Structure 1
Amino acid sequence: MTDIALLTIFVLAVFVGFEVISKVSTTLHTPLMSGANAIHGVILVGAIVATGETTSTVGLALGVLAVVLATVNIVGGFVVTDRMLEMFKGRARPGAAPRSEGSEPGGGR
């Protein structure tokens, strides 16, 4: 394929990817991030195996770089997922006394 055809495919893939991701509802972002982290775990294992099989210095350097980048990607994905899950937890109102179990609002008897 020519360079123009490859560049065209890349640009179209970027646009399609952006459109697909931007249309995902917020309730699906966390499961998608978890799935992406699982896929990146497989990529990390593949990078480790490929690095272990190489015999050249260039291959070793690229393999170590791939392992480092895959690890950073996985850790970053878990950090983002954790932050997203924190958004779904209820926030305590400042100055509001914590309610005990069994108490009714308004102090009714």
Structure 2
Amino acid sequence: MDPMTTLTLLVLAGFVGAEVVSKVTSRLHTPLMSGTNAISGIILVGAIASIANATSPLLIVLGVFAVLFATINLVGGFVVTDRMLEMFSRKG
């Protein structure tokens, strides 16, 4: 695909994702976060695999950034999920 088509698909996916997530009720946010964490884990594995097959220094640098951002997203998702689950636990 050409870069303009790829950019258009990325922007459209962002809009659709934001619209879908904004319509989710508060009871479904924890399961939604768990599913998002699973997707982030898959993205992390894909980023690591792309570094393994990289042939140029630019691709390696981009792969390292992809691993870094996917790791931040994954850890942040687990932290948010843990905080949300603590809201439902009994105190005392």
Bigger helix fraction: 2
Alignment partner, residue 32 of structure 1: 32
| Pairing 1:83–2:80 present | no
Structure having the higher Rg: 1
Q: Which residue of 1 aligns with 2:56?
A: 56
RMSD: 2.4
Q: Provide the C-alpha distance between the structure 2 equivalents of 1:10 and 1:43, rounded to a whole number of angstroms.
A: 18
Q: Of the two structures, which has the highest relative contact order with CA contacts closer than 8 Å and spacing of 6 or more?
A: 2
5+ residue gaps, structure 2, are none
Q: CA deviation at 1:89?
A: 1.4
Which structure 1 residue ranges, 5 or more long, are not aligned?
93-109
User: Runs in 1 of length 4+ with deviation above 6 angstroms?
Assistant: none
**Identity within the alignment, %:** 57
Matched residue count: 87
Normalising by structure 2, report the TM-score. 0.80
Q: Shift of residue 22 of structure 1?
A: 2.1
